[in-house]
């Protein structure tokens, strides 16, 4: 275990960023000089978290030494309804519906895993879900999306419904 801790500390400050490590030495030195003495690596990690330093890069550096303090990301996506023959650019902002304890939104990555019907026209563009249904098509589809913090992932699904303008307008007036 001591070798893994030494490796994790070294990966936090070495200038060669191989694998998952991409942190720097200065924050470690600040903790060692300014913090109370830690007796365990967990106490060091808790001091790191309390210091306000970037956790995404640090948790990756120690993870590659088999010390796993990484919480997986979470995702909870809403369903969407789009009118026939209309598209919806930026229908879902993935930053609003995904989160991770150690990572900033910009440090997360998303991937479209599955669309049950390609006529829905669902695509991902960075942090955005766009919907551009096939012209004249009515129907729906299920969509699965994965979020990753580069170490762990989480998946969620949502539904897209393509409806006629008149039917949608009528149902909203009637209620």
pTM attached to this predicted model: 0.79
Among 108, 96, 110, residue whose Cα is nearest residue 149: 108
Backbone angles phi, psi at 96, to 5 degrees: -75, -25
Decide: helix, strand or coil at residue 112. Answer: strand
Position of tokens 């309390």?
50
- DSSP codes, 46-106: HHHHHHT--HHHHHHHHHTTT---PPPPEE-PPPEEEETT--EEEEEEHHHHEE-SS--GG
Could you tell me the pLDDT band of residue 10, with boundaries at 50, 70 and 90? low
Q: What is the pLDDT of residues 118-135, one digit of tens each?
A: 999 999 999 999 999 999
pLDDT at 15: 58
Whether 157 has a pLDDT exceeding 80, the answer reads yes
Q: Are 116 and 142 in contact (CB under 8 A)?
A: yes
């Amino acid at each position: 275990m001591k070798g893994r801790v030494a490796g994790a500390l070294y990966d936090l400050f070495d200038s060669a960023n191989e694998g998952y490590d991409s942190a720097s030495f200065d924050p470690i030195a600040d903790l060692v000089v300014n913090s109370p003495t830690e007796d365990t690596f967990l106490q060091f990690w808790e001091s790191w978290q309390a210091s306000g330093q970037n956790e995404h890069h640090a948790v990756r550096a120690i993870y590659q030494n088999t010390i796993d303090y990484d919480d997986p990301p979470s995702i909870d996506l809403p369903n969407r309804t789009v009118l026939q023959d209309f598209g919806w650019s930026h229908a879902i902002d993935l930053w609003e519906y995904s989160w991770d304890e150690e990572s900033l939104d910009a440090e997360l990555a998303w991937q479209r895993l599955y669309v049950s019907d390609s006529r829905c026209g669902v695509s991902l563009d960075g942090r955005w879900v766009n919907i551009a249904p096939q012209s004249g098509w009515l129907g729906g589809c299920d969509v699965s999306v994965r979020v990753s913090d580069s170490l762990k992932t989480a998946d969620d699904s949502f539904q897209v419904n393509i409806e006629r303008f008149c039917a949608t307008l009528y149902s909203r007036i009637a209620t």
